[in-house]
Structure 1
Amino acid sequence: MNSSLVGNQSGRPFCLLAVSYLETINFCLLEVVIIVFLMVLIISGNIIVIFVFHCAPLLNHHTTSYFIQTMAYADLLVGVSCLVPSLSLLHYPIVLSESLVCQIFGYVVSVLKSVSMASLACISIDRYIAITKPLTYNTLVTPWRLRICILTIWLYSCLVFLPSFHWGKPGYHGDVFQWCANSWNTDPYFTLFIVVMLYAPAAFIVCFTYFNIFRICQQHTKEINERRVRFSSQDGEAGDAQPCPDKRYAMVLFRITSVFYILWLPYIIYFLLESSDVYSNRVASFLTTWLAISNSFCNCVIYSLSNSVFQKGLKRLSGAICASCARQRVAKDSSTSRSKRSSNGCHV
């Protein structure tokens, strides 16, 4: 039975970022710090997003909340799965062989990130339908159809990366496992398969829908302003420009999508170069892979900073937690002394 992190003949651990290795410790310090730091951020950030969605009913009025929550659950599982390479780098004994653990980890993370990518594409389609067909939107986009769509996303993502166990490395590996770095190679045909079946369609859908969304919003804004100017000139009042009401919400989703692809771009470029045997570097593999995985935390940050309803839900959640803390403190003080009352509490 192999250890999760097998050292070489010199007894020195397998470290991609060799500059971080210290003789006083027997693990890769910098790799552990990076992965554990991302794991904590991803898990804590997405747990907050999930709780806020459950505590803020207004957020569930948008059908896109189904896909946002799907992304949050997928990103949360990405953070949990990062525990596997963390334990490996810390020499924690794992029952399964290193090769199997490496393949399962690569497959699981690939599926989860595929769910995020497909969810972003579905969000853009949802907003496109809402703007182009506002009168029939409620009949076209129903809760049961959304559930079927989400189920399809998960099944499709699982099937796309299923051949990786025999065909080639799917990505999101970081080569933290020595077997991944030395024995599991990328296959150009499998890479082309993933690009054709996932990357290219998702990117095309996002570019097409958001381009048309902003074009339509610009036309609507222009028409509304022209009408306001016409009527205000007749009434002798100056009209102010009013933006398209859907454009602001579309901008929030566009920022999430843009950051997603910006963080993914270095990895996709490296993945293509490595698969075609043009360029291969373990440090570049580690950095680009975990840069892409860091997007699992960026989604919740962008959404919390851009959406006012989400901010209100976050304040409500904070207020509920603080009120619970205050009640527990008051109950504890009253049980010890009836004459004392808690003067400290959380106020939101």
Structure 2
Amino acid sequence: MEEAELCFPQVNTSCRKTSRPHLEATVTLSVLSCITMLTVVLNLLVITSISHFRQLHTTTNFILLSLAVADFIVGFLQMPAEILLYRGCWTLGDIMCVVYYFSGFFAVSASVGNMVLISVDRYIAICDPMFYSTKVTVKRVQLCICLCWIFSAVHSSWMPRDSLKQPGRYNSCYGECVIVVNYIEGAVDLVVTFLSPFLVIIVLYIRVFVVAVSQARAMRSQTAADTLQRSKPITAKKSEMKAARTLGIVVVVFIVCNCPYYCFTVAAENNLVGASSGKIEIWLICFNSCLNPVIYVFFYPWFRKAIKHIVSLQILKPSSSEANIM
């Protein structure tokens, strides 16, 4: 019986499997596998839609494309690894263990950076609409996205740097996958990937909300003649505010899904909770990568049209990239 509980019965130093009821394990793994598949498929649809259709090549959508790539990494690398660790056994070796942690840090850092870019984009679009087209250009957005990914790669390499030099150095038994982050590194990560960017996001969206409310009141107070004369500018403002509401939902969901993990991290550092009890918080972060494209389905008609084109294989036609899906 003791040998059956080991990850590798033939190895004396093997870790023990996490004991779970069979029914609970089966249901949990089935649900997590479905979420993983849904995350990969939906984010691939977002990536394909924005990349393929020229009508979607806007500055805001390029940021959404970058976010979808980060979410795809979570679904393709992070989630399957979490499923593998459900029973407490790592079977892919020490090098892949480091890759697993690096991809996790990398995807989360990139997601946070993209959320900041989304907030800045909406802030300029709502609060300074006259200069939006001159300030927010495709080249500038692409540069910001590249810098976001470069910073994420540097930060993600710095966190597990000891394990990168010597994979498996912190494992206490064969079949374990752990890294150790000291107090200073954890504090820096907390500030860089949570406190600072989330403060920026909240401040910018509060400003966007205040301006949007004031604009809505101004529109309602206009006379019929004034409304007729300014119908085009008002339509533009309404579309921008609708986009701001949709992306605001994405930002709020992101904050709600990420806050528990960082609260857990602070509590674990202060020994208020066990360091090994954060699986739910980690899966909540992963689940956010599945929720983003679901939000697009409900709030973006162009995404629903793009899905129809992709599923019906109309994108294989020579001129499909020029299709009108807005």
TM-score if structure 1 supplies the norm length? 0.73
Moved more, 79-88 or 33-42: 79-88
Tell me what 2:38 maps to: 41
1:113 offset after TM fit, Å?
A: 1.6
Residues 1:125 and 2:126 are matched in the alignment: no
Corresponding residue of 2:306: 313
Q: 1:215 aligns with which of 207, 210, 224?
A: 210
Tell me, yes or no, if the aligned pair for 1:56 and 1:310 is still in contact at 8 Å. Answer: no
Q: Distance in 2 between matches of 1:131 and 1:196?
A: 28
Aligned equivalent of 1:339: none
1:189 shift after superposition = 1.7
Report the equivalent of 2:289: 296
**1:14 paired to 2:17:** yes
- Could you tell me whether the CA contact under 8 Å between 2:159 and 2:181 is conserved in 1? no
Partner residue in 2 for 1:192: 187
Given the superposition, is the C-alpha separation of residues 280 and 87 from structure 1 closer, same or farther in structure 2, using an over 3 Å criterion?
closer
CA distance in 2, matches of 1:227, 1:304: 34
Distance 1:189 1:323, change over 3 A: closer
Map 1:5-84; keep pairs closer than 5 Å.
6=8, 13-15=16-18, 18-21=19-22, 29=26, 32-60=29-57, 62-81=58-77, 82-84=79-81
Unpaired runs of 5+ residues, structure 2, are 1-6, 164-173, 228-235, 318-326
Distance 2:143 2:206 in 1: 27
**CA separation of 1:312/1:179 partners in 2, compared to 1, >3 Å: closer, same or farther?**
same
Partner amino acid for 1:309? W
8 Å CA contact 1:75–1:296 kept in 2: the answer is yes
Query: Is residue 90–residue 176 contact of structure 2 (8 Å, CA) maintained in 1?
Result: no
* Mean CA deviation greater in 118-127 or 220-229: 220-229
1:252 aligns with 2:246: yes
Task: Tell me the C-alpha RMSD between the 2 structures.
Answer: 3.3
Change (3 A) 1:37 1:231: closer
Please list the CA deviations of residues 186-230 of structure 1 after superposition, one character each: whole Å capped at 9, or x if unmatched: 422212101212211211121111111111111111112111368
Aligned AA (2:278)? S
CA distance in 1, matches of 2:240, 2:212: 7
Alpha-carbon distance in structure 1 between the residues aligned to 2:143 and 2:292: 23
Q: With the length of structure 2 as denominator, give the TM-score of the two structures.
A: 0.77
- Call closer, same or farther: CA 1:88–1:200 in 2, change over 3 Å: closer
1:74 counterpart letter in structure 2: A
Pair 1:268 & 2:271 matched: no
CA distance in 2, matches of 1:10, 1:31: 28
Shift of 1:258: 0.9
How far apart are 1:49 and its partner, in Å?
A: 1.5
- Are residues 247 and 322 of structure 1, via their aligned partners in 2, closer, same or farther at CA, if it must alter by over 3 Å? closer
1:78/1:109 contact within 8 Å kept: yes
Q: How many residues align?
A: 290
TM-superposition CA deviations, 1:109-145 (whole Å, max 9, x none)? 1111211111011011011112222222222222221
Change (3 A) 1:12 1:272: closer
The percent identity for this pair of structures is 19
CA distance in 2, matches of 1:227, 1:88: 60
* Closer, same or farther: CA 11–132 of 1 in aligned 2, 3 Å: closer
1:285 CA drift (Å): 1.3
Distance 1:291 1:114 in 2: 16
Cα separation, partners in 2 of 1:202 and 1:252, compared to 1, 3 Å: same
Please tell me the residue identity of whatever aligns with 2:140: R
CA distance in 1, matches of 2:98, 2:203: 35
- Stretches of structure 1 that go unaligned for 5 or more consecutive residues are 23-27, 169-176, 233-241, 325-348
> For 1:140 and 1:156, how far apart are their aligned partners in 2?
23
Instruction: Point out the structure with max Rg over C-alpha.
Output: 1
Residues 256 and 306 of structure 1: is their aligned pair in 2 closer, same or farther, counting only changes over 3 Å?
Answer: same
- Measured at CA, do residues 140 and 244 of structure 1 come closer, stay the same or move farther in structure 2, by a change above 3 Å? same
Cα distance in structure 1, aligned partners of 2:210 and 2:121? 16
Q: Is the 8 A contact 1:55 1:317 kept in 2?
A: no
